[in-house]
Structure 1
Amino acid sequence: MTHTLYHVDIDMIHTLYHVDIDVTRTLYHVDIDKTRTLHHVDIDVTHTLYHVDIDVTHTLYHVDIDMTRILYHVYIDMTCTLHHVDIDMSHTLYHVDIDVTHTLYHVDIDMTRTLHHVDIDVTHTLYHVYIDMTRTLCHVDIDMKHTLHHVDIDMTVLCTMWILILPVLCTMWILK
């Protein structure tokens, strides 16, 4: 890196395979607290990363954070396997929470403007969540108890009603 790294915590009792932190400005805080194996974490930013928490009890395969502006908070708290999380953006990501108790296969966040909040709280298997947008997404909640195979959010205008619409869509998908 070329500037300041304020804090990196790696607290684990087993194996950490790979952690890359490549920044050109300031990284304030990265916490990695786990009890098993972390295979790969890439943090590549060009401005400010405020906080990244990775708290798992089993295996985290891959986390990519590649951005050009500000990432305020990313929290990954799970008890089994997280296969892949991609955060690729060009502006501001305020908050991403991923709290699962089983398997999360893939989460993609690819955007060009502002993402205020994304919550993913599942108790079984989430196969794929893709958020591709060009404007502002105020809030996305994915709270389910079984299997969600695929969620695509591709938008070009301001979205404020996903918190009300998405649970209905998920329920319809599950019942289908």
Structure 2
Amino acid sequence: MSNPNKAKGTAWESSVRDFLNRSLGLVDAAGKFLHPGSGDNIRRAAQEGAKDVGDIHAYPFVIECKDVKNPAVPTWLRQAVAEAEHAGFPLAAVVAKRRGFSPGVARVHFTVSTWRAIRDLLGTPVDDAAALYGAIYSARGLDTARWYVTVSLADFADLLADVRGAHAVR
């Protein structure tokens, strides 16, 4: 790959995918899918051009992965929400790499409306959900479009398992 930034992004996407597949028990010790055709497997999405469908599909989430020095979380979240709509997925998240740390401590960001949808699906009150998944709330000024919720990638893996369990019941 001749573009070093693209190679860095691809490596980060693969790390996130692999971490989630291992955390959810979807792969064996060698990293091979236990059930290759399962829709539960976390996969990197093919690029779609103007109608991009996100970097990773972890149903019901489209995940946008970011490995950059300067964060722009509200902008990234708008991108992730648009890509989730393009892919036909109900939820969107952004995973931002923390340089020098393992993938499990990466930051996973949600819009406030996505966080509310997650809590509604799980039937979990705000304080209980925050404690259960280690959520941190960021309110940037009076513009609620710039507010977001953050958890670690390790906590997101637990949240994803819980959401999938609750989603299957419905």
Q: TM-score, normalised by structure 1?
A: 0.27
Whichever structure has more helix as a proportion of its residues is: 2
Q: Which has the higher contact order (CA 8 A, sep 6+)?
A: 2
Question: Relative to total residues, which structure has the larger strand share, 1 or 2?
Answer: 1
